[in-house]
Structures are given as C-alpha cells and as structure tokens.
C-alpha cells in the first residue's frame, strides 16, 4: 500500500474515532462521503483484526496514529516496529489457529455421541435430515446440489440457495475431501448436514483472504438434487464460481 494513502486512511480512521468517546458503538450517522468512507475503512480494519485474532487497544492505536500525523518522534526505529508488529501478528494468528483446532475437536467429539450422527472412518460426520431414494453418485458422475456452509459459531460463509443457483461438480474431484466422500454416500433426493473436520476441509491454510480461517471445522447443509451425467473422458470437473478444494 502507498505510504501517503496509508497515512490518509489512518487519518480518516483517527477522525472517526476521535469524533466520539464510545469505542464500543456499532452505528453512526453517515451524512457525507467522508463519514461513509470512514465507516467502511473501520469495518475493513476490524475485519482484519478479527481474522488475525488481534484485539487492539483502540486508545493506543489512535495515539500511535496521532504521533505519526503530528510528526512526533517515533518510539522505535520504523524497521524495528515493523518487525515487532509482524511477529505479534504471526503469534496472534498461530494462537487463534490452535484455539480453532481445539474448539473443532471438542465439538466433533461431543457431536459424535449424538444418536442421529454417523461418523465415518475418515472422521467425517453427517446427519440425515431427509432420506433420499434415488441413485448414489459414482466418483465420475456430475451432480447438482444446493448447500449452505457455516462456521461453528453460526457464521454463514456461502450458500447456493442465496445465490439462487445450484452448484454442479464432479462427485469425485473439484471439491474438498469431506464433500467428495459425503456425496458418494448420498442417494439422490437426500438432504444431509455434514460436519467436516479441518483436515477434510481447508486444513491449516484456510481460504486465502477468508472467510474460512486455519483449522476450521465446517458445517454444511447439502441437498443432492440430481445426477446430471457421467463426466466424459478428458473433461475436468470443478466449478469456477465456488471451488471447495
């Protein structure tokens, strides 16, 4: 990011923060372009803090911005400060990933004990919401599904239902491992809830830029609508709009 533009962003953020004393408010009047830009920038900063697991001290944050804007002496060498922040962020991200992994393992361990939940040898868990009576897809079949994906805290990160367009893909590839396994167990017409461990989803890396962080256990509601056709030789599966792999 260009330094001058970064300073401009911070100045807008500072004005937004210093215009009031309530650091916990979540609504404000957006009467001008500056107001709107300030809110959007603040939202983006907050999202980055949440993604990395950082809970900033807003007073210290604003003080640091003001020191820079007022050209006062920095508390440390710029390179040293940058190295410190990078190390802090990496530490915060690692701690969040470890906690996420622990939360997922605890959830799955408890969920496994439920009578209506089946656990496969791989660790995939599923619950039959609606039992279909159609054919079960082979790995080379192209299938069409509707789905909704959420994190353990209930945050919805994707939904073909919201988009109004079923997701079509090759059953044996082009999707995360947990999906591929589940689809090849489901009769057409079925609706299942899938509980997918991180190692059968996006693992330690998560998805680039979010919304799925490292070590996330995922929950999907999946309805298998139909088997479209076997994939012809030489044709690749997958889906450009939302690739689960």
Please pick, among 147, 167, 169, 195, the residue that the annotation labels catalytic.
Answer: 147
Q: Is 167 a catalytic residue?
A: no
Q: Which contiguous run of DSSP H or E holds residue 117? A: strand 117-119
Choosing from 62, 176, 196, 227, which is the catalytic residue?
176
C-alpha 61/C-alpha 29 separation (Å) is 23
CB 145 within 8 A of CB 180: no
Active site residue 33: no
Catalytic residue status for 17: no
Between the CA of residue 199 and those of 90, 110, 176, 181, 215, what are the distances in Å? 21, 18, 10, 13, 8
Catalytic residue among 39, 45, 49, 157: 157
17, 126, 169, 202: the catalytic one is: 202
Looking at 141, 158, 183, 227, which residue is catalytic?
Answer: 158
Of 53, 118, 142, nearest to 89 by C-alpha is 53
176 is known as an active-site residue: yes
Catalytic status, residue 220 = yes
Strands 156-159 and 141-150, by their bridges, are antiparallel
User: Closest by alpha carbon to 139, among 166, 165, 168, 169?
Assistant: 169
For CA atoms 115, 121, 126, 131, give the dihedral sign. negative
84 is catalytic: no
Kindly list the catalytic residues.
147, 157-158, 176, 202, 220
């Amino acid at each position: 990011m260009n330094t001058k533009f970064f300073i401009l962003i911070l100045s807008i953020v500072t004005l937004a923060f210093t215009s009031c004393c309530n650091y916990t408010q979540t609504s404000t009047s957006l009467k001008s372009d500056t107001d709107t830009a300030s809110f959007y920038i603040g939202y983006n900063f907050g999202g980055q803090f949440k993604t990395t697991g950082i809970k900033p001290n807003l007073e210290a944050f604003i003080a640091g911005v003001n020191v820079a804007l007022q050209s006062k002496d920095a508390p440390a060498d710029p390179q040293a400060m940058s190295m410190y922040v990078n190390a802090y962020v990496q530490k915060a991200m690692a701690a969040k990933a470890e906690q996420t992994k622990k939360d997922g393992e605890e959830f799955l361990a408890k969920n496994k004990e439920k009578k209506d939940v089946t656990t496969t040898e791989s660790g995939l868990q599923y619950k039959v919401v609606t039992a279909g009576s159609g054919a079960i897809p082979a790995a080379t079949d192209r299938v069409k599904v509707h789905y909704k994906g959420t994190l353990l805290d209930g945050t919805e990160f994707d939904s073909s239902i919201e988009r109004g367009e079923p997701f079509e893909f090759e059953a044996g590839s082009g999707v995360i491992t947990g999906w591929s396994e589940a689809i090849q167990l489901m009769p057409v017409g079925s609706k299942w809830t899938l509980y997918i461990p991180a190692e059968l989803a996006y693992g330690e890396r998560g998805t680039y830029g979010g919304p799925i962080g490292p070590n996330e256990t995922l929950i999907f509601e999946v309805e298998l609508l139909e088997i479209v056709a076997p994939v012809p030789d030489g044709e690749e599966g997958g889906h450009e709009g939302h690739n689960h792999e």
